[in-house]
Amino acid sequence: MIKEAILHMPLSQYAYALNENELVIRIRTAKDDMDSIYLYFGDRVAYVEPIPVTKAKLEKTASDDLFDYYEAHIKTSYTRVCYYFLLSDGNEKLYFYSRGFVEKMDAHRTEYFQFPFIRREEVINEPEWVKDKVMYHIFPDSFASGKRELRNESINTEMIQNKLGGTLRGVIENLDYISDLGADLIYLNPIFKANSYHKYDTIDYFEIDPLLGTKDDLKELVEKLHSKGMNIILDGVFNHCGPDFFAFKDVIENQDNSKYKDWFYCLNFPIDYSDPPNYECFAYVKEMPKLNTSNPEVRKFICDVGRYWIREFDIDGWRLDVANEVDHDTWRAFRKAVKEEKKDAFLIAEIWEDAETWLKGDQFDSAMNYTFTYLCRDFFAKNMISASVFDEMIQKSLMRYPWPVTLSQMNFLDSHDVPRFLYYCDNDIRKLELATFYLLMAPGIPSIFYGDEGFITGSTEPEYRAAMPWDKLNTYLSDKLRSWIKIRKDHPALRYGDYKCIRTDAEGLYIFARECKEERVLILINNSDKEKIVTLSEKENNGKGCTINIPCYGGLII
């Protein structure tokens, strides 16, 4: 038994509550090292000694390159639970508890692993509506200015600018297009008054950028979305502001005498507004001075912004920019403020790395799943990893968070900050198509970046934020998107189901199952340039053996 590989962490993704009467308990072991694992749990404040314990078998639910993951769902009337494990590798049996490993379990209950109290307030409670959604991600300046059109002209004033002329009105006039695809959650990059075309250097958090439209336009957009059963989240930029934000302008004018000097993080006087600046910014961009979010005044300001757009315009949530550089207490306060306005508002963090610290139920509901993006790039686009390695890395990523959080992750192939996925495919449309198919079949919320269906490509900012190709959208990928989104919405297993690898081979075959209590579906992927003939056993295919042809770079669901 490889003891050093064994890991369990109470009150983490390895032990969490689904509700007040159900716990999920996980344990990690070395790969292919265990014969069986059992959980023993009981009431940690029981009157009798030793306490009665209930035995439950853990099932292997995932495997990555190094480890296996076992899991048990236990339903209990106990509000306070203690537990330990019995592990067997076929040769050796050991009990595992908070202090380590023993051959005989005679430790007191206080030395077991503990779930101190299943508090209803601390159950991870994702907004239920989001798991059924397919997101359409829009960079406003690049999308539309009218019905199936974009002006493709720039405006530069003394303070604000755009490049391509997209507007909120353009989004409104093309809701039928988005709805027809099957997408029903719009994520808009920033729309508030800002200096640059990308709007990440905010001037006024309470005003719509006049080049994008008006508050009335936003109200109309939200109302029309809701009337169609669709939702919208906006982009909030609170790590930093723009150079013309009122507080920073005051600092520039009054320097060390400014009453807003404590609104910013690590200022040095006199302020040197040059490249590089002598004050803290987003990266080293002088136009984006970093806000001191732990300042109570700044924190209240941020929470007031979060409340305002929900209360006055009924938006459905926020995607929060550079979330990993803002203090945690601000996000806790922001969550509380926003959820008071709309209990089921959806909060997504822009975090490029693993986001466990932010996804414990007290800050965010979801994060941008860049790990998913990188793995799809390496497998589908670049063919750098095999199907088995892809599966191992996907399985590892699925074990990062409690399952309700995993189902709410924002999955995407590309975004406004990275090259288009088609670029990584060397413009091979078949690879983009197969990766998009997988995106719609995988656990999490699939997000389609505007124009992928029109084959936008490129590696530089002007290229991957290019104009929506309205004259090139009658593509077979658009048709397949409609079909795949409908399939996802028709099959609860694709939205809520577990994920299990069935088979891989060295030539790009990847078969996995999604299963929930209602159904089990099988997804077959052929990530190669040759047709595959696959024979499925009765065990693999719900008791029905069959032979299936999968075209090159093709995906099927059965």
DSSP assignment string, 323-383: GGGS-HHHHHHHHHHHHHH-TT-EEEE--SS--GGG-SSSS-SEEB-HHHHHHHIIIIIS-
What pTM does this model have?
0.97
In the prediction, which pLDDT does 549 show? 97
Structural tokens at position 38: 């059992």
Structural tokens at position 122: 């601390």
In the prediction, which pLDDT does 209 show? 98
Query: Quick check: bond before 10 cis, omega within 30?
Result: no
In the prediction, which pLDDT does 407 show? 97
pLDDT in tens, the chain (558 residues): 999 999 999 999 999 999 999 999 999 999 999 999 999 999 999 999 999 999 999 999 999 999 999 999 999 999 999 999 999 999 999 999 999 999 999 999 999 999 999 999 999 999 999 999 999 999 999 999 999 999 999 999 889 999 999 999 999 999 999 999 999 999 999 999 999 999 999 999 999 999 999 999 999 999 999 999 999 999 999 999 999 999 999 999 999 999 999 999 999 999 999 999 999 999 999 999 999 999 999 999 999 999 999 999 999 999 999 999 999 999 999 999 999 999 999 999 999 999 999 999 999 999 999 999 999 999 999 999 999 999 999 999 999 999 999 999 999 999 999 999 999 999 999 999 999 999 999 999 999 999 999 999 999 999 999 999 999 887 788 999 999 999 999 999 999 999 999 999 999 999 999 999 999 999 999 999 999 999 999 999 988 999 999 999 999 999
In the prediction, which pLDDT does 279 show? 96
CA-to-CA separations, 554 to 25, 112, 123, 285, 347, in angstroms, rounded: 37, 50, 40, 44, 34
Whether residue 470 contacts residue 144, with contact meaning beta carbons closer than 8 Å, is answered with yes
In the prediction, which pLDDT does 527 show? 98
For residue 488, give the 3-state DSSP assignment.
helix
DSSP character for 420? -
Residue 272 designated active-site: no
Catalytic residue among 43, 126, 321, 365: 321
Residue 321 designated active-site: yes
Cα torsion 385, 390, 394, 395 to 10°: value is -130
Structural tokens at position 443: 């656990």
Structural tokens at position 2: 């490889």
Catalytic residue among 64, 126, 244, 350: 350
Of 526, 523, 521, nearest in space to 509 by CA: 526
Q: Say how far residue 64 (Cα) sits from the centre of its chain.
A: 20
- With the C-alpha atoms ordered 9, 11, 12, 16, is the resulting torsion angle positive or negative? positive
Whether residue 104 contacts residue 112, with contact meaning beta carbons closer than 8 Å, is answered with no
In the prediction, which pLDDT does 184 show? 98
Of 243, 270, 244, nearest in space to 255 by CA: 270
In the prediction, which pLDDT does 123 show? 94
In the prediction, which pLDDT does 492 show? 97
Spatial neighbors of 331 by CB under 8 A, at least 6 apart, are 320, 323, 349, 358, 363, 364
In the prediction, which pLDDT does 158 show? 84
Strands 59-63 and 54-57: unpaired
In the prediction, which pLDDT does 473 show? 87
CA-to-CA separations, 495 to 20, 58, 129, 256, 468, in angstroms, rounded: 23, 24, 11, 54, 29
In the prediction, which pLDDT does 474 show? 73
Helix or strand holding residue 102 (H, E): strand 100-102
In the prediction, which pLDDT does 387 show? 98
Of 391, 370, 369, nearest in space to 379 by CA: 391
